Amino acid sequence: MDLKKEMVLKKRVREEKANFRNFPMVPRVIFGNGCFDQLGEILIPRRKSIDAPMIFLLDDVFKGSKLATRIPLLSNDKILFISAEQEPKTTQVDSLVTEIRDMFSEQPSGIIGIGGGTLLDLAKAVAIMLTNPGSAAHYQGWDLVHKPAIYHVGVPTISGTGAEVSRTTVLLGPDKKLGINSDFTTFDQVLLDPALTIGVPKDQWFYTGMDCYIHCVESLNGTFLNTFSQSYGEKAMELCKEVFMGNLPEELAREKLMMASWHGGMSIAYSQVGVAHAMSYGLSYVLGIKHGLGNCLVFQQLEEFYPDGVQRFFRMRDKHDIRLPEGICHQMKEEELESMITVALSLEPLWENALGSDWRQRISPDVLADIYGRI
Ligand code: NAD
Ligand code: ZN
């Protein structure tokens, strides 16, 4: 082969390499009703020394519960109860890291997050920040983390976000709501025990479950879709339909929603979310509205973008007799609306996935103001 041809070939290989992303996946997962009781034996080989504790971040909804007593504590392990009332903040991550550093002379052996997306994301972020200098806010973005996190485990107690499989931890920072997206974010171990989701309030079950459904709609209708994402997205969609439109026994519905969340999360790994997520980030940033509910509030107004998905959403909402709050944006100040729109529009990959590279032709601040105005 002459040199010129070889150079062209090498260039093409380089370009192709740059085009295909190489994603980490959760290397270990255990699934089954009651498998939480195996957590202790799973952690044993990960314990570095008697002084290097396992730190359990537990949603404070479980304070005084049976679950709290089942946590496999050894030597100086510690449970930190954390409220999921508000979505995780970079400042909250920083102070948890300081608290843990002050409490122990040695680096912990691991961080175990037990709860919904809020606790899972906190566990991921704390595990990263225990080995990386500075504030969590410095790492919001893509591939800014350079040192591996400490061992971290995710134990979901409500299903839908896909946070258990994703390579991101979504944080509210000083000037943005954005994930720490990195190869070190993904959990080292996930424990899927559907029985832990018993007791989730019905509205919250629906909101977080709809997060998964909306991941499927946005991924399957996105321009970034490839066969990898499609295969996971279709499975997650099928499971969501069974759970939210069928009449499954409760135990089976819990199992299927947990797997829907997993597949939905896998589906967006290689694609992106879309319009509902972009606009829901705005709602969350300005009004503090939580992810699941925010997605539902936005998604019901998106018939022009996702006609079939929104129609099915209405049928699911009615079947489960869910009433979404109204008039959320009616009393909003002009500056608040502007900042909501700025946050939403800044999420360019989401718009590009939803509408293609010429998305700016269809989307303007006025279009968003109109949609927000109807929420
Ligand atoms: P959540 O963690 O905020 O919890 C919602 C509510 O359910 C809380 O009141 C919590 O205490 C309660 N709850 C949880 N488990 C319960 C149980 N078994 N019994 C009774 N109550 C229970 O909810 P979520 O919707 O799972 O998570 C939302 C968060 O996830 C947001 O911060 C969002 O940004 C994040 N998220 C992250 C990703 C990711 O890939 N990292 C993806 C989507 C969403
Ligand atoms: Zn989501």
Nearest 5°: the CA angle 353, 356, 362 is 110
Question: What is the residue with the minimal CA distance to atom 43 of ligand 1?
Answer: 161
Residue 2 burial class via C-beta count within 10 angstroms: exposed 0-12, middle 13-18, buried 19 and up: exposed
Nearest atom in ligand 1 to the alpha carbon of residue 165 is 40
> Which residues, at least 6 apart from 306, have a Cβ–Cβ distance to it below 8 Å?
217, 218, 221, 274, 275, 276, 299
Pocket of ligand 1 (CB under 6 A): 59, 61, 84, 87-88, 115-119, 121, 157-158, 161-163, 166, 168-170, 196-197, 199-200, 204, 208, 211, 290-292
Ligand nearest to the CA of 193: 1
Measured distance CA(331)–CA(263) in Å, rounded:
38
Tell me the DSSP string of 193-211.
-GGGGTT--HHHHHHHHHH
Measured distance CA(375)–CA(93) in Å, rounded:
31
**Ligand 2 center to residue 301 CA distance, Å?**
17
Whole-structure pTM value: 0.94
Per-residue pLDDT of the chain (375 residues; tens, 9 = 90+): 565 665 655 555 555 555 788 999 999 999 999 999 999 999 999 999 999 999 999 999 999 999 999 999 999 999 999 999 999 999 999 999 999 999 999 999 999 999 999 999 999 999 999 999 999 999 999 999 999 999 999 999 999 999 999 999 999 999 888 899 999 999 999 999 999 999 999 999 999 999 999 999 999 999 999 999 999 999 999 999 999 999 999 999 999 999 999 999 999 998 999 999 999 999 999 999 999 999 999 999 999 999 999 999 999 999 999 999 999 999 899 999 999 999 999 999 999 999 999 999 999 999 999 999 999
Question: What is the residue with the minimal CA distance to atom 44 of ligand 1?
Answer: 161
Q: What b/e sequence results for 94-130 when a residue is b if at least 16 CB atoms lie within 10 Å of its CB, and e otherwise?
A: bebbeebeeeeeeebbbbbbbbbbbbbbbbbbbbbbb
Nearest atom in ligand 1 to the alpha carbon of residue 198 is 18
The SS3 call for residue 179 is strand
Question: What is the residue with the minimal CA distance to atom 36 of ligand 1?
Answer: 117
